[in-house]
Amino acid sequence: MRRHTITTAVVGLTAALTLAGCSSSEPADTQDTSSSASPGSAADFNQADVTYAQGMTMHHQQAVDMSDTVLDKDGLDPEVARLARDIKDAQGPEIRTMEGWLEDWGHPMDHGGHGSASGDEGHMDGMVSAEDIRALERADGATASRLFLDQMIEHHEGAVDMAKQHRKDGHNPEALQLSEDVITDQQAEITEMRQMRKTL
């Protein structure tokens, strides 16, 4: 009789513990969220992603600044003006996206030193030198149209090289998708700019 009572108690205790375990939930700060983490989360990137986002943010910003420079010109070729607006429309939002990633990853951009079209980062792929930027700023509309295409072709080629390298080394899915988009879009623009340049 006593053995039956003990066995019944053990079974009951085991069932209670099992039910308690099923109904309880881990505290939010101890749950494993790695499998459901968003692509831009701190748990889903590597140093190559950080380096790429920082470098491409500066690279894009120079392209936007160059576009602003030529759009202020009188006598700019209409197709060059359209291209400059397209570049701003595409790369401005990408800059904000990459800056958001870097904030999430704990590596924010230094806004005191990045983003100018001065050419100080000329060691980066395709970045336009300070001297060439000054030439673009001084040029009249017709000359600026040609300079802009020449400089932006090289600039885009550098961006494509950076994106291809990131496709090899990066980890973050959203950043890798951006790199793929950069390769596709900017190679298409390079082809377009080379064709435009033949007529100027």
pLDDT at 67 over 50: yes
Q: Is residue 24 part of a domain?
A: no
Tokens matching residue 97 = 């996206």
**Band of the pLDDT at 63, cuts 50, 70, 90?**
very high
Closest by CA to 40, choosing from 178, 185, 167, 162, is: 178
- In tens, the pLDDT along 157-166 reads 999 999 999 9
Tokens matching residue 9 = 């108690």
Q: Is residue 34 part of a domain?
A: no
Q: Is residue 1 part of a domain?
A: no
Q: Is residue 145 part of a domain?
A: yes
Residue 173, domain extent: 47-104+122-197
pLDDT at 132 over 90: yes
Q: Is residue 112 part of a domain?
A: no
pLDDT at 196 over 80: yes
Half-sphere exposure of 105 (CA within 13 A, CB side): 25
Q: Is residue 62 part of a domain?
A: yes
Q: Check which CATH number belongs to the domain holding 154 and give it.
A: 1.20.1260.10
Q: Is residue 77 part of a domain?
A: yes
**Concatenated DSSP letters for 8-37?**
HHHHHHHHHHHHHHHH----TTTS--TTT-
pLDDT at 12 over 60: no
Q: Is residue 18 part of a domain?
A: no
Burial 106-133 (b: 16+ CB within 10 A, else e): ebebeeeebbebebbbeebbbbbeeebb
Number of domains comprising the chain: 1
**Band of the pLDDT at 90, cuts 50, 70, 90?**
very high
